[in-house]
Structure 1
Amino acid sequence: MKLTETDSLLALTTFIVLILLLMMVLVYNVFIKKKSQLLLSQQKKEALFKQELAISQVEIKEQTLNYIGQELHDDVGQKLSVARLMTNKMAYSDEQSRQQIVEEINLLIGECLQDIRNLSKVFITRQVEHFGFVESLEREINRIKRLELMEVEYSNSNKYLYLDNNHALILFRIIQESINNVIKHSKARKFSLIVLDTEDMITIEISDNGVGFDQNTMYNGSGLENMQNRAKLINSEFHIESSENRGTKITINYYKQ
């Protein structure tokens, strides 16, 4: 009888041990599977981030080239054309007038040289990394002001704001694309860009008093979904509020890591 009880106890113990081992194997397999899925998800996210980073760099290069072409044509080109006309005028002027014309030509050439120096500073591969996030924003604001298409309001609570270069590049491209949409489509008379830096988050508001749009019909395929996806890659939220004839407001919340 004692032998039977011992055998039963041994069999029960063996069964319990086998069950525990089986549970450990199952838990281990689940853990490995979850870990593999997490790693795969992280790798996919990193690949998407690198892809968006490369695309943003190319887009900013194209934007910079367009900007430089416009500045060369509208500003430097016009000044040089005036200088050329003034040199032709020298042949029909007296000595005193010639001296005045020479001084004006020298002044125009000096302005052209300074404009070209300023443009050369813009023509770089990594604009945001070179100038910094805040200065890049301010350059974009100055570009809008020179167009003289609308009233521009800009405020920033932290002039020394620092961001990771890669995140700053994508964030700047989202803002730049939002601004370009305002210029091209909004027909606004007033534009506002507000940057608010807090302890845990940077909030950026881009608003206009333009024609607005119906979000239900315009969201897909308009570039807005692309901006939202980019925002997710840099730990940000992208919100848009718009309705017809009531303007548009975009809010970007960038959470500091």
Structure 2
Amino acid sequence: MKEQTLNYIGQELHDDLGQKLSVVRLRQNQLITKLQNTEKEDLIELNELLGECIQDIRNLSKTLITEQIIHFGLAESIEREVKRIKKLKLLKIEFITQKQDIDISPKHGLILFRIIQESINNILKHSKAKNVSIHMEDDCEKLHISISDNGRGFDINSNQDGSGLKNMELRAKLIHAELSIQSELNKGTQTLITYHKNLL
């Protein structure tokens, strides 16, 4: 009962309060660009504080919903994340998978889920994409996951804000997964993850 309650609280923080604050911050960023320089300073300060609140909520929700993969599995956890993104109504997103029952340890499933989350967050923050597609293919030896968007893309070699990408790379290395990111300016980005099920 306690575990279910904590999981519920974590999910509500992540899905409800977290997403509402994220939408507020996105709108605030849009308004900042329209203001005069003298008016921007106070709003920028509030924006930074709002960003800290969002991060605190994310950290707390991550702690509380770590058991999600154990309860729902990787495929259903991705579906729940996709539903959360759809509620934002900022872009169209779809998840396509051959099967729901993925044979993978909860620990590694959680790491893969965090990589996918980070990729989606990067798309929401930077890409200005209208469409996102997540494909997952499972065979006896490998799990293939691709996340594609039709956003503005970026030059991978000159990317300055690489903290999100580095987090994804570090997580992939933890489970010896292959991570490949292909992007071209004004032509979108595709992230490819290959997890070797029998390697560890």
Q: Distance in 2 between matches of 1:219 and 1:241?
A: 16
Q: Distance in 2 between matches of 1:66 and 1:151?
A: 20
* More strand by percentage: 2
Q: Residue 225 in 1 paired to residue 166 in 2? A: yes
Which structure has the bigger radius of gyration? 1
Name stretches of at least 5 consecutive residues in structure 2 with no aligned partner. Answer: 1-8, 22-63
Greater Cα shift, 182-191 or 146-155:
146-155
Give the paired residue count: 149
Name stretches of at least 5 consecutive residues in structure 1 with no aligned partner. Answer: 1-60, 74-122
Q: CA deviation at 1:243?
A: 1.6
Equivalent AA in structure 1 for residue 132 of structure 2: F
Which of 80, 95, 114 is equivalent to 1:139? 80
Give secondary structure in 1 for the equivalent of 2:163: coil
Give secondary structure in 1 for the equivalent of 2:168: helix
Deviations 1:4-24 (A, max 9, x none): xxxxxxxxxxxxxxxxxxxxx
Q: CA deviation at 1:132?
A: 1.3
* More helix by percentage: 1
Q: CA deviation at 1:153?
A: 2.4
Structure 2 contact 136–145 (Cα < 8 Å) conserved:
yes
Structure 2 contact 11–65 (Cα < 8 Å) conserved:
no
Structure 1 contact 133–162 (Cα < 8 Å) conserved:
no
Which of 1 and 2 has higher RCO (CA within 8 Å, sep 6+)? 2
Mapping for residues 184-203 of structure 1, pairs under 5 Å? 184-203=125-144
TM-score (norm 1): 0.53
Q: Residue 175 in 1 paired to residue 123 in 2? A: no
Give secondary structure in 2 for the equivalent of 1:149: coil
Structure 2 contact 68–77 (Cα < 8 Å) conserved:
yes
Q: CA deviation at 1:169?
A: 0.8
Equivalent AA in structure 1 for residue 17 of structure 2: G
State the match for 2:105 in structure 1.
Answer: 164
Which of 244, 252, 256 is equivalent to 2:185? 244
Please report the RMSD computed on the Cα atoms of aligned residues, expressed in angstroms. Answer: 2.5
Mapping for residues 36-75 of structure 1, pairs under 5 Å? 65-70=13-18
